[in-house]
């Protein structure tokens, strides 16, 4: 064949394709070969980057998280041991401090009782204002030695009128109720409490009890707490424990109860037992008014004015006592949006306060250096900063990412033993909910993303660091009546009602778990798959998948 190149195989000769026809095949083969070379080059570059850049960085992240986790679990073990010591050896406050019940005096009459101010700050509390005012006015104390101060910052005129009407009803029953309003909300709760303390009638008061609008103290609350202040002049604050009336409303409130019970039974109890610092919870507590004044009064520089005041009082030598036997009924946020708002403030506020008060702590002369270091390390760094960061970074980022970087190995201490210890310690506060511990783990891990962002906002003082959103209460109703304001709101679009960061994390974790299932050897997918599902569900939480669903 003209123009053809013969092909010889084992002595036989076969005609081949003409040159003009064989050229495209050779070009295609060359093209594929070139693409293969480029692909191999790309893979080699990726491998080099993974080995020389990603792996070392991830290794550093692993050990940073290991250090923070060790700090956190050590702190929890110490607090757990102190709490256990208190229970085993009955080191309750009534044995550690002088406590004598208040009694009527035949000669002095009601003058034997100190004058007590009860402050109830509220803001548009349609669902709970009657409960809170009624509980405050129902406290067992001589009526001429008790002043109930309702600090109403409501912007809803209808609710304002209802609150004032309720106050007048109790006035007619002989209770000394003072209804106080402001023409602005400057300083939010701190501003209301500060202005309330400037009233002339407060000068006759020695102590002030503070209750948020959804808190309902038992009638003997003052009889149980005031004696600590009367007979122990070094005590500035008596903090009571919260008890939740709606803990069984949904799975989210059950999980919250586990965390809150641990806070009171372990964190607050251990701080009080060791005579170290523990924070004021902002409500269900009684303060010595002279201690508030000496500490500089209420300040609105952060959204945790309660913690701010407690730290400043501690720095000048005042002591606090936690009385776990005194319970005050309260309400957990049962809607997902309300819970996220509360958690943002509770995570951002302490981090921002740490930024502002750190130098004040080290400048004080009334505390030893050991107490200063303990306050900074234990209360702020370990519990208020590192805990949120390490929970998200280690269990949601570092461990799943290690599947994609086989050069990095995460020690079993960090993967198994430390988180197991932390989980067991957190479950001791609510033994009845131990069967929900798995839900608690995944719920807390998902919320750690939100809390970490809030913590970083507080540390660097950016974003919504000074935003105060009042936690909505539902009272006894799960479907509050619609107000005129809510009727005017337009329904947000789906894209604005889902949490894109949580959904993105869900996709990333699902990919990591799938790769681990197919190629991995550590079997992390048993943990990562459920975590991916948890992120997905809570990413759609605002649509009504998490918590109680209420009308707009």
Q: Give catalytic residues, as residue numbers.
A: 153, 306
* Separation of alpha carbons 465 and 349, rounded Å: 7
Whole-angstrom CA distances from 347 to 125, 353, 538 are 24, 10, 19
DSSP letter for 226, please.
H
Cα 207–Cα 472–Cα 255 angle in degrees, nearest 5: 95
The answer to whether 132 and 121 have CB atoms below 8 angstroms apart is: no
Pairwise CA distance, residues 56 & 391, whole Å: 21
469 Cβ contact list (under 8 Å, min separation 6):
341, 344, 345
Q: Which of 424, 358, 322, 385 is nearest to 76 (CA)?
A: 424
Distance CA(247)–CA(176), nearest Å, equals 33
DSSP letter at 404? T
Name every residue whose Cβ is closer than 8 Å to that of residue 79 and which is 6 or more positions away in sequence: 266, 267, 270, 271
Query: CA angle, 68 as apex, 64 and 71 as ends, to 5°?
Result: 140
Helices 418-427 + 437-460 axis angle, to 10: 100
Sheet bearing 235-244, strands edge to edge: 177-181, 146-152, 116-122, 207-210, 285-288, 235-244, 319-330, 216-217
CB-count burial class (<10 Å; 0-12, 13-18, 19+) for 495: exposed
Decide if 206 contacts 115 (C-beta within 8 A).
yes
List, in sequence order, the alpha helices (H) in 263-335: 269-273, 289-294, 305-315
Q: Could you tell me how many residues make up the chain?
A: 552
How far from 20 is each of 2, 4, 132, 492, CA to CA, in Å?
12, 9, 95, 66
Query: Phi and psi dihedrals of 318, rounded to 5?
Result: -75, 150
The tokens describing 260, both together, are 């809150």
Say how far apart CA 74 and CA 80 lie, in whole Å: 10
Provide the phi-psi class of 175: left if phi over 0, else alpha when psi is between -120 and 50, else beta.
beta
DSSP 383: I
**What is the C-alpha separation between 424 and 262, in angstroms, rounded?**
11
């Amino acid at each position: 064949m003209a123009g053809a190149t013969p092909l010889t195989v084992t002595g036989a000769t076969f005609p081949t394709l003409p040159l003009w026809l064989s050229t495209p095949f050779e070009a295609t083969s060359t093209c594929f070969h070139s693409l293969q070379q480029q692909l191999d080059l790309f893979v080699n570059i990726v491998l080099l980057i993974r080995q020389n850049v990603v792996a070392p960085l991830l290794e550093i992240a692993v050990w940073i998280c290991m250090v923070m986790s060790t700090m956190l679990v050590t702190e929890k073990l110490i607090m757990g041991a102190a709490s256990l010591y208190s229970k085993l050896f009955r080191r309750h406050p009534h044995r550690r401090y002088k406590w004598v019940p208040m009694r009527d005096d035949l000669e002095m009459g009601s003058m034997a009782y100190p004058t007590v101010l009860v402050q109830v700050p509220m803001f548009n509390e349609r669902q709970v204002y009657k409960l809170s005012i009624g509980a405050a006015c129902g406290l067992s104390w001589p009526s001429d030695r008790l002043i109930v101060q309702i600090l109403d910052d409501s912007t809803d005129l209808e609710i304002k009128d209802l609150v004032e009407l309720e106050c007048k009803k109790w006035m007619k029953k002989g209770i000394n109720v003072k209804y106080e309003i402001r023409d602005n909300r400057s300083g939010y709760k701190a501003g209301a409490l500060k202005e309330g303390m400037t009233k002339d009638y407060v000068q006759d008061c020695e102590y002030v009890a503070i209750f948020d609008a959804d808190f309902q103290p038992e009638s003997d609350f003052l009889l149980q707490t005031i004696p600590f202040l009367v007979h122990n002049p070094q005590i500035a604050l008596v903090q009571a424990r919260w008890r939740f009336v709606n803990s069984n409303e949904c799975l989210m409130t059950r999980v919250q109860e586990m965390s809150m019970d641990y806070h009171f039974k372990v964190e607050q109890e251990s701080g009080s037992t060791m005579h170290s610092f523990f924070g004021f919870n902002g409500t269900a507590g009684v303060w010595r008014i002279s201690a508030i004044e000496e500490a500089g009064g209420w300040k609105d520089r952060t959204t945790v004015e309660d913690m701010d005041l407690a730290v400043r009082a501690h720095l000048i030598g005042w002591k606090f006592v936690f009385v776990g036997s005194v319970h005050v009924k309260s309400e957990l946020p049962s809607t997902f949006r309300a819970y996220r708002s509360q958690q943002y403030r509770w995570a951002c506020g302490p981090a921002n306060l740490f930024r502002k008060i750190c130098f004040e702590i080290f400048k004080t002369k009334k505390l030893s250096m050991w107490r200063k270091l303990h306050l900074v390390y234990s209360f702020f760094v370990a519990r208020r900063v590192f805990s949120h960061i390490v929970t998200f970074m280690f269990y949601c980022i570092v461990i799943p990412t290690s599947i994609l970087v086989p050069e990095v190995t995460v020690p079993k201490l960090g993967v198994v033993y430390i988180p197991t210890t932390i989980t067991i310690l957190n479950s001791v506060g609510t033994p009845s909910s131990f069967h929900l511990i798995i839900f608690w783990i995944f719920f807390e891990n998902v919320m750690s993303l939100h809390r970490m962002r809030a913590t970083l906002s507080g540390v660097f003082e950016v974003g919504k660091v000074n935003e105060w959103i009042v936690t909505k209460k539902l009272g006894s109703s799960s479907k509050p009546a619609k107000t005129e304001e809510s009727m005017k709101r337009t329904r947000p679009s789906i894209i604005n009602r889902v949490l894109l960061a949580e959904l993105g994390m869900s996709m990333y974790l699902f990919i990591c778990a799938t790769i681990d299932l197919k190629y991995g050897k550590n079997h992390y997918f048993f943990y990562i798959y459920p975590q991916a599902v948890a992120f997905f569900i809570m990413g759609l939480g605002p649509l009504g998948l998490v918590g109680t669903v209420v009308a707009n």
